[in-house]
Structure 1
Amino acid sequence: MELSIASLASNLLAPTILFFILGLIAAIARSDLSTPEGAAKVMSVYLLLAIGFKGGASVAQSGVDGQLLASLLAGTVLSFVLPFVAFALLRMMTRLDCLNAAAVAGHYGSISIVTFVTAVSLLEARAIPSEGYLVAVAAVMEVPAIMSALWIAARSGGVAAIDSSLMRHILGNGSIVLLIGAFAIGAITGEQGLQDLHPFIVVPFTGVLALFLLDMGLSAGKSLMENRKDISVGLLAFGCVMPVIGSLLGLIAALLVGLSVGGTFLLMVLSASASYIAVPAAMRLALPQAKSGIYLSLALGVTFPFNLTLGMPLYYLMASLAVG
């Protein structure tokens, strides 16, 4: 069944998105609503395992081909280039100094795996096919953006040492390890492995995602409230404009690779999202002088809600018009 633009535009009424909005409103209203301590970590582990495993099983069915390798290359190039675009835009739209602009820019070359998981869930709910190996593309888009951001900071006079301990921290990030590991296990076990784990990684997936997005809404709202004095109008505008620019670059890359409408949509979502897990951890180590409240609030409190509510319908519209 083909996914219509109207049906994806109605994703605001999807239970998962509504739970995110509920959490956001609750946090802004200063409600005492909260999720159990440690629950978000457990849910994120589950979501990464499930999406990685299903992606690997999909690759086992379709096999490794030139399009997969081209997609990996496209993702790597996008992740490397996007921080330079973000940095230039920040310098034009805001009054951020070079160091903080570089730190923010790194987040916009990397990816939000939760945004990606939500996009995959929306496609799956409507039986829209997409290339399963884009999970691997998501994994390779973490590191190049961090390297670009640190290079920009170094060129701008910031202190950004890329040493062995930082590289171990980046490459050993739990999200990346679990995503790649689950992808590999799914690729090895294939269809039989997917059948064995179907009651665990397929049936409860949407419910767990709804609970996780409720927690993400609470976190986004709290971040915005706590750091609202640091977020200027220019930064708010950047947090909404940069995802659209990123999605356009993702669209160009997808057309060059030859992805399906669903795959094009997912690559656009990856290119439009901003990291709020792996990159903040790296920035705290490499650029401790940068204001974490700014880059966390932008990625989690502005760009994440924008992509979930307004961005995804727009990206699918562009993908459907371009790919048909």
Structure 2
Amino acid sequence: MQSLLDPAILFFALGVFACLVRSNLEMPVAISKFLSIYLLMALGLKGGFALAASGMTPSVVSSLGLAVLLAVVVPLVGFALLRRFLSGFDAAAVAATYGSVSAVTFVTATQYLESQHIAYGGYMAAAMALMESPAIILAVMLANAQRQRLAAAATPAAAPVLAMAMPGTGGGAMPAPRAGPGGPGLSIGKILHESFTDGTQLLLLGAMVIGLVTGDAGKAAMQPFSGDLFKGMLCLFLLDMGLATARNLPAVRKQSPWLLAYAVLGPLVHASLALGLAWMAQVPAGDAVLLVVLAASASYIAVPAVVRYAIPEADPSLYVSLSLGLTFPLNIVLGIPLYTQVVQRLWGV
């Protein structure tokens, strides 16, 4: 219960309440964007400062390696399950959403750990960055495979039409099909470029490099900005996220029971997988919590932005409403304290 009295969580609840009672409270778009930029910049700097202090120790390498492994396994397992009750395109999009990560959930988890006086490696911000793109790339590859299967299945039916269009038959020349923005001709290189040059990724990684290069001197200089202001800025951002979450609740109610079950149980399964891997690799307790939180989170910004372009056949209402309207608030309010308590008991801290 004490974890629910954290100011950041309470501001999130205030945002949800304000929207539900139809208050005119809202966050200007420019302010919301500024808060997002600030949090990513501060998080990247903290990660860089921590990495400068610790160096690339075996613990750091182990944590980052597990992050990459989870980023590949989670979307593949998710797709295999979702394919049973969704189309291939929708399954790929939802799997990418739940295989990627939420920066705001991660930031909230770091603040919770600090409030509980649990140490964690700031370099875990690099783990978050590494976990964002693999799910997107895998989803695009799965969607392209689905398009090729559909094209192969349609070929026999198209044969008579093609025969009529052959020279000398009187038929006109049939133009070759063109791949749309999400078609089979979509370049994985372009998706990689979109992923790694996305503003959020670039800012996070760039700030991390700056923190790594400047070290202790940079940390002391930036403390009033990236340290003292951080909690207040997070509260404002979670207030805005509470408003956005409540606005997505009507779309959540329209989803099938199977999808609602996945949005609740899927993150718990992903968290359990991360917990087991972290325990076997003897990852420090704080890092283990953050790995579990990242595995349990779902992207509602980066993945939808890319997937809408890369997999236009998928229904955006599925992956956006589920991740933002259901999984995000469950992780923020209940998930983070739960995962922390489980790790504390298993690690004996």
TM-score, structure 2 as length reference: 0.85
2:334 match: 310
Distance 1:165 1:241, change over 3 A: same
Q: Is contact 2:137–2:192 with CA below 8 Å preserved after alignment?
A: no
Between the aligned partners of 1:162 and 1:237, the Cα distance in structure 2 is 34
Q: Does residue 144 of structure 2 align to residue 154 of structure 1?
A: yes
Q: Deviations over 1:170-217 (max 9, x none)?
A: 111111111111111111111221111111111111111000001011
1:220 to 221, 245, 255: 245
Distance 1:27 1:162, change over 3 A: farther
* 1:285 equivalent in alignment to 2:309: yes
Q: Give 2:292's aligned amino acid.
A: M
Counterparts of 1:82 and 1:238, CA distance in 2: 13
The CA deviation at 1:320 is 1.5
Deviation at 1:87, TM superposition (A): 2.0
The alignment covers a number of residue pairs equal to 313
Counterpart code for 1:37: V
- 1:76 Cα deviation (Å)? 1.0
C-alpha distance in 2 between matches for 1:50 and 1:181: 11
Identify if the C-alpha distance between structure 1 residues 257 and 180 changes in structure 2 by more than 3 Å, giving closer, same or farther: farther
**Residue in structure 2 matched with residue 99 of structure 1 by the alignment:** 89
Q: Which amino acid aligns with 1:191?
A: D
Q: Is 1:165 aligned with 2:190?
A: yes
Q: Output the amino acid matched with 2:92.
A: A
Letter aligned with residue 283 of structure 1: V
1:25 to 2:27 alignment:
no
Contact kept? 1:90, 1:96, Cα under 8 Å? yes
Q: Does 2:247 correspond to 1:255?
A: no
The amino acid across from 1:107 in the alignment is T
How many Å apart are 1:118 and its aligned residue?
0.3
Query: Which residue identity is paired with 1:36?
Result: P
Give 2:231's aligned residue: 206
Residue 26 of structure 1: how far off its partner (Å): 2.1
- Give the AA of the match of 1:22: L
Which of 69, 73, 79 is the matching residue for 2:71? 79
Query: In structure 2, what residue type is equivalent to 1:321?
Result: R
Q: Is the Cα contact below 8 Å between 2:43 and 2:107 reproduced in 1?
A: yes
1:230-273 CA-to-partner distances (Å, cap 9, x unmatched) read 42222222111111111111112222332221111111001100
Contact 2:71 2:135 in 1 (8 A): yes
Written as runs of structure 1 = structure 2, the 5 A alignment for 1:15-164 is: 15-92=7-84, 95-157=85-147, 159=183, 161-164=186-189
Q: SS where residue 108 of structure 1 aligns? A: helix
For residues 11 and 271 of structure 1, the distance between their equivalents in structure 2, rounded to whole angstroms, comes to: 21
Check conservation: 2:137, 2:191, Cα contact below 8 A: no
Is the CA contact 2:99–2:135 (under 8 Å) kept in the aligned structure 1?
yes
- The structure number with the bigger radius of gyration is 2
Contact 2:137-2:188 within 8 A present in 1 as well: no
Q: State the shift of 1:229 in Å.
A: 5.6
Show the 5 A alignment for 1:159-198. 159=183, 161-198=186-223
2:258, 2:14 → 1: CA distance? Answer: 26
Specify the SS of the correspondent of 1:294: helix
Q: Could you tell me how far apart the structure 2 residues matched to 1:64 and 1:235 are?
A: 40
The answer to whether the aligner puts 1:296 opposite 2:320 as a matched pair is yes
Instruction: Provide the secondary structure at the position in 2 that maps to 1:68.
Output: helix
* Aligned equivalents of 1:253, 1:151: Cα separation in 2: 26
Cα pair 2:62 2:283 within 8 Å, conserved: no
Cα root mean square deviation, aligned = 1.7
Label 1:25 to 1:90 Cα distance change in 2 as closer, same or farther (>3 A).
farther
Counterpart contact for 2:252–2:325, Cα < 8 Å:
no
Tell me whether 15-24 or 248-257 shows the greater mean CA deviation: 248-257
Q: Which secondary structure state, in structure 2, belongs to the residue aligned with residue 152 of structure 1?
A: helix
Per-residue CA deviation, residues 125-180 of structure 1 (Å, 9 max, x unaligned), is: 23221122111011000111111222222333474634433322111111111111
Once structures 1 and 2 are overlaid, which stretch shifts more, 60-69 or 160-169? 160-169
CA drift of 1:313 comes to: 1.8
For residues 337 and 215 of structure 2, what CA distance do their matches in structure 1 show? 32
Deviation at 1:316, TM superposition (A): 1.2
In 2: Cα distance, 1:256 partner to 1:192 partner: 36
What's the TM-score, normalizing by structure 1?
A: 0.92
Q: Classify 1:90/1:208 alpha carbon distance in 2 versus 1 (closer, same or farther; 3 Å).
A: same
